[in-house]
Structure 1
Amino acid sequence: MRIVVLTGAGISAESGLRTFRAEDGLWEDHRIEDVATPEAFIRDPALVHRFYNARRAATAQAEPNAAHRALADLAARHELTLVTQNVDDLHERGGSSNVIHMHGELASSLCASCGHRWPSPMETDRKTLCPACGTAAARPDIVWFGEMPYHMEQIWEAIQQAEIFAAIGTSGQVYPAAGFGHQARRSGAHCVELNLDRSAVSRDFHEHLIGPATQIVPEWVGRLG
């Protein structure tokens, strides 16, 4: 069975990582505009580097949970395309391979000068050199607001061919990911939303499973066989 799964911050929240869109509008006590835009990096690169250094440290302390592991089990039995909005590596550490990180990865650095990518050290700063061109232009390999998500052609192709589309732990507020359910439904997929509450795009889904990801994701995977 061809299945596409989209995961958001909700699946990693139970591993202790705070969700991107907290109720107070802050992400780890910072305004999104100050740490997650190209303009923020130009304005205060030192702050942005410190922020993502702290995110790497927090991720290193977190452990994959039952929902991450259940999706790895699902991939062993079905043709699964796993797309995540998350920048952590909990899917990989939970046993999944070939994860599509549409918003980039904390584990990767990007040269703002030549575009080279390399495995990120735990801490970077304004003096971190690109190993390809030698320029001190390292930035987190993260898709910030105003930038184009990665791998979109591959994602749309998988969605159009999916028999089942599932969104797990997503708010339905960030596009283009918020439009995946609509496209999958138009393409004939059975669409399932797994979340603590109905999302902003819940109308796009045939089925709604409400509860903690560590409970409802393993149950859903078990039903698929």
Structure 2
Amino acid sequence: MDTLPGLEETAARILEARRVLVITGAGISADSGLPTYRGFGGLYNDELTEDGMPIEVALSGEVMRRDPAITWKHLARIEATCRGARPNAAHEVIAALQERVPTTVLTQNIDGFHRRAGSRDLIEIHGDLFELDCTHCGHHETVADYSQLTVLPPPCPHCLGHLRPRVVLFGEALPRAAIQRLEAVMQEGYDVVFSIGTTSVFPYIAQPFAIAGETGALAIEVNPGDTAVSRHADLRWRSGAAEALTRLWRALGERGN
């Protein structure tokens, strides 16, 4: 079994940290059986959809407003990749870590696994596929999956509007509350930062990791391949997320509180 460089050092730094920041992408859900595509487009291999448009257009805020049935059709396909899947050991370790050390999770994932695993200080920067809002009256509801949605787009039970998932579609702004929380965490500072299973192509995902060297934070990347932030990592764990974090949790347990 390959070693994880600096594992003991990382465990020691975590236990002494004022705050830990964990940044996650699609790769953390790979052990749950989800595809490690970048954004939505990987499901379509960069080909046009049957609607004659790139998937980034079909999954845009503009098309959701103009022809929501198209956007909902593709969102339902994405949801189908999550159906029946569960949080894995990586999600569970991160949630457990929050019980020992102040830990903030910044995730791009819309699968809701961090929340289901028990994470609380959670910044879902791209939203949650299972939180639905009415586009007219603001009605909100949570669904376990989309099997109960017999009509797409699903009608609002309180008005003539329709529901949409609380996710950031292409061309839409990031949620203000999430940005404000991320800015607060960066201002308060953190002593250890992880980048797990993400290519870090978005600046708001890359920056918190890239500036670690300027603030003295220990930066650990967990990813089998090279990414946009690999050069900023103090330690690179070329491993799957579940294996790496399980071994980290074991190292933390050996050190105690």
Tell me which interval the TM-score lies in, with the shorter structure as reference length.
0.7 to 0.9
Identity of counterpart residues, as a percentage? 32
Deviation, 1:90, is 1.6
Deviation, 1:135, is 3.7
* Aligned match for 1:27, one of 33, 43, 62: 43
Please say if residues 212 and 219 of structure 2, whose CA atoms lie closer than 8 Å, have aligned partners that are also in contact: yes
What is the aligned partner in structure 2 of residue 145 from structure 1? 170
What is the aligned partner in structure 2 of residue 193 from structure 1? 221
Deviation, 1:115, is 5.0
**1:23-57 Cα shifts (integer Å, max 9, x gaps):** xx532565431443213324542122122233334
What is the aligned partner in structure 2 of residue 171 from structure 1? 199
My pick for the range that moved more, 155-164 or 41-50, is 41-50
CA distance in 1, matches of 2:251, 2:95: 15
- The gaps in structure 2 that reach 5 residues or longer are 1-16
SS at match of 2:32: coil
* Aligned match for 1:60, one of 83, 94, 113: 83
Larger Rg: 2
The one-letter amino acid of 1:51's match is: H
Please say if residues 71 and 221 of structure 1, whose CA atoms lie closer than 8 Å, have aligned partners that are also in contact: no
What is the aligned partner in structure 2 of residue 72 from structure 1? 95
Deviation, 1:220, is 2.8
Confirm whether residue 12 of structure 1 aligns to residue 16 of structure 2: no
SS at match of 1:26: helix
CA distance in 2, matches of 1:53, 1:94: 23
Q: Say what the alpha-carbon RMSD is for the aligned residues.
A: 2.5
Greater share of residues in strand: 1
**1:66-90 Cα shifts (integer Å, max 9, x gaps):** 1111112211211111121101122
Deviation, 1:190, is 1.4
What is the aligned partner in structure 2 of residue 218 from structure 1? 246
CA distance in 2, matches of 1:86, 1:178: 15
Scaled by the length of structure 2, the TM-score of the pair is 0.76
Please say if residues 194 and 221 of structure 2, whose CA atoms lie closer than 8 Å, have aligned partners that are also in contact: yes
Deviation, 1:114, is 5.0
- The gaps in structure 1 that reach 5 residues or longer are none
My pick for the range that moved more, 98-107 or 177-186, is 177-186
Scaled by the length of structure 1, the TM-score of the pair is 0.85
Please say if residues 134 and 162 of structure 2, whose CA atoms lie closer than 8 Å, have aligned partners that are also in contact: yes
Greater share of residues in helix: 2
**Residues 107 and 206 of structure 1: is their aligned pair in 2 closer, same or farther, counting only changes over 3 Å?**
same
